[in-house]
Structure 1
Amino acid sequence: MRALTVVPEQRGSLRVGTVPDPHPAHGELLVRGLALGVCGTDKEIARGEYGWAPPGRDRLVLGHESLGQVIEPAGDFAAGDLVAGIVRRPDPVPCGACAAGEFDMCRNGRYTERGIKEIDGYGSELWTVEADYAVRLDPRLRDVGMLMEPTTVVAKAWEQIQRVGERAWFEPKRVLVTGAGPIGLLGALLGVQRGLDVHVLDRVADGPKPRLAEALGATYHAEPVEKVLPSLEPDIVLEATGVGSLVFDAMAGTGAYGIVCLTGVSPTGRHLTVDAGSINRELVLENDVVIGSVNANHRHYRAAADALGRADLDWLGGLVTRRVPLSRAADAFEAGDADVKVVLDLER
């Protein structure tokens, strides 16, 4: 079968090649791959920045934003079910968090991840997955179900925001989402589903991003963040860019009892000068909180499946701005001006 593979930490090694067909072990599903979302993590691995091949191997099958259809069932699944595979697996020790099913909060870093760290991903025509790490999707999501994994990221972020807020009386009204990529827009979707006044900020002033935000009923802003924050004073900021200066502006710009949830990973090597004293003063005197959130566990996958099942299919389809055949996979790793989410068609 064909698969998208890479030699981790070797730039220019991305290729579509032939690998042996998988054979499901007891308790595993055999799945026909339908589509694969491409995200920043995949691009970083393809650039040789990190990644880990399975033990004893040079190449890693890439891809963690999965969508497939069951061929050989196991557990409670049936042939024909639409499924996505969970990305992370708990460490083998395990740490206390992994032992409690919270492997997204692994303490010792010995977890593994499909398509990223020591386990082949979902970027192949066929793949297997343990029944306990597969999530059934509404059949209506066949064209957009690869959005499942990024939706889990924001499902977890919103869960964490809620938990932090409920340490005291919590009745948020307004959220600012910074960044109108897939994570930001899906985060805005979940904010709208929660009944909040949602604002989305991105530097892009035209193209699909403003239209997608406005179609949700959110307010879109293309102005600099320092011009937007004073008038909004959001109760929540969901930060999805990883831009260092914007992160600190967001921390200083919330209303009292504000919560900033960071989901974007900032690059290293750039130094910023910040007024740490003022930031500390505001955090303390206004009972503000800044949290980071990454990855997802079973609970977040179930929440994401529910959110996608309730979303407008046309809106979800609008997030997918380019579909690239597996045979031309390299094209999906080149940024396009109008890209929001680029998807690989594993059947072509």
Structure 2
Amino acid sequence: MRAVTVTPGVPNSLQLTEDWPEPAPEEGAILVEALAVGICGTDHEIISGAYGEAPPGQDRLVLGHESLGRVVEDPTGALQPGDLVAGIVRRPDPVPCPNCAVDEWDMCRNGQYTEHGIKGLSGYARERWRVQPKFAVGLDPCLASVGMLLEPTSVVAKAWDHIERIGRRAEWKPQTVLVTGAGPIGLLAALLATQRELSVHVLDRATTGPKPDLVRSLGATYHTSKVTELDFEPDVVVECTGAPVVVLDAMFQAGPTGIVCLTGVSSGGRTIDLDAGALNRDLVLENNVVFGSVNANRRHWELAAEALSRADQGWLNSLISRRVPVEAYADAYTSGPDDIKVVLDFTA
């Protein structure tokens, strides 16, 4: 069968492998026919050779962690043939650490977890894959064209879950949310904020292209100014850029008892001036919280599936910039200037 693969650590080794082996039964009882995979910055970094790890005993890694498929067979009865399904990305470490032992693999403490299409496990960018019922998330049929958005939505579902848990430390009635960055994670974070009936502001550098309209279609306000030029202090900030200046400005901008959730991953290697004393003073005197969030456990995937099923399906479809057939895989992994989410289509 066909699979999109790379040699980890070797830049630009991306290829469409025509004779990739069928998924082994040990991978899981549920056999799935791939419909599509979403492509994100993680895939581009793996292709560049920045990181990535093939399964033990293999030289190549199958890409793809934003999955959407249709069940072919499930002898366990958890799902039925024809059901839409997404595969959870991370698997708990074999030790396991205290968190992985209770299925909180997103909070793994020792880093020995594995991830499909990223670290030690074949990904979902292949014509067929298998998954264990515990790691298979069934989807509403209305998500047939956008179900590959479940993985990035699970990331922001976790972020919102943790924001709300932190908020319950005291009387807390948030009204205003600032999302920095209008990529897929930022837009989905804004979607979940609007579903909470909050006043949502999204800040991004783009002045043209689809981002402003996508934000306004949610009923949110779009900004292109600097964070420090905003005329309000948000109760919640969801930072999705990883840009150091934006990260620090977001910490300063949050209002009293504000919560700043960092979801963007910085590349490092850049030094900027910082008045650490002033930042510390603001955080302490205003009882603010800054925390990082990445990945998601099954509960968050289920929350994400529910959120997507309630969302406007036309808006979700508008996040998909391009649907590229597998035969044109190289084009799918080449970023365009106005791309939001590019999808590799196994059905075309």
Look up the match of 2:241.
Answer: 241
Summarize the alignment of residues 169-318 of structure 1 with structure 2, pairs less than 5 Å apart: 169-228=171-230, 231-318=231-318
What is the identity, as a one-letter code, of the residue corresponding to 2:268? T
- Note if contact 1:115-1:121 (Cα within 8 Å) is conserved in structure 2: yes
Q: Distance in 2 between matches of 1:258 and 1:193?
A: 20
What is the identity, as a one-letter code, of the residue corresponding to 1:125? E
Deviation at 1:79, TM superposition (A): 0.2
- Note if contact 2:227-2:253 (Cα within 8 Å) is conserved in structure 1: no
Quote the RMSD (CA, aligned, Å): 1.0
Secondary structure of 2:25's aligned partner: coil
Q: Deviations over 1:189-246 (max 9, x none)?
A: 0000011000000000121111110001101111222212xx1200000000000000
- Aligned-residue identity in percent: 60
What is the identity, as a one-letter code, of the residue corresponding to 1:3? A
Q: Deviations over 1:16-60 (max 9, x none)?
A: 112012243495211000000000001000000001000011000
Q: Distance in 2 between matches of 1:321 and 1:181?
A: 12
Selected match of 1:104 from 97, 102, 106: 106
Secondary structure of 2:110's aligned partner: coil
Q: Distance in 2 between matches of 1:91 and 1:26?
A: 15
- Note if contact 1:74-1:131 (Cα within 8 Å) is conserved in structure 2: no
Look up the match of 1:69.
Answer: 70
Look up the match of 1:33.
Answer: 34
Q: Distance in 1 between matches of 2:332 and 2:281?
A: 45
- Note if contact 1:125-1:347 (Cα within 8 Å) is conserved in structure 2: no
CA spacing shift, 1:328–1:26, aligned 2, 3 Å: closer
Secondary structure of 1:164's aligned partner: helix
Deviation at 1:132, TM superposition (A): 1.1
Look up the match of 1:326.
Answer: 326
Unaligned runs of 5+ residues in structure 1 are: none
Summarize the alignment of residues 15-164 of structure 1 with structure 2, pairs less than 5 Å apart: 15-18=15-18, 19-25=20-26, 28-75=29-76, 76-164=78-166
Q: Distance in 1 between matches of 2:339 and 2:75?
A: 37
Q: Distance in 1 between matches of 2:105 and 2:147?
A: 23
Q: Distance in 2 between matches of 1:339 and 1:236?
A: 27
Q: Deviations over 1:288-346 (max 9, x none)?
A: 01000000000000000000000000000000011111111111222211110111002
Q: Deviations over 1:147-168 (max 9, x none)?
A: 0000000000000100111111
Unaligned runs of 5+ residues in structure 2 are: none
Secondary structure of 2:211's aligned partner: helix
> TM (normalized to structure 1)?
0.98
Secondary structure of 1:66's aligned partner: strand
Aligned residues: 346
Secondary structure of 2:99's aligned partner: helix
Q: Distance in 2 between matches of 1:176 and 1:126?
A: 40
Secondary structure of 1:232's aligned partner: coil
Q: Distance in 2 between matches of 1:62 and 1:195?
A: 37
CA spacing shift, 1:47–1:128, aligned 2, 3 Å: same
Secondary structure of 2:11's aligned partner: coil
Q: Distance in 1 between matches of 2:132 and 2:220?
A: 38
Q: Distance in 1 between matches of 2:69 and 2:17?
A: 20
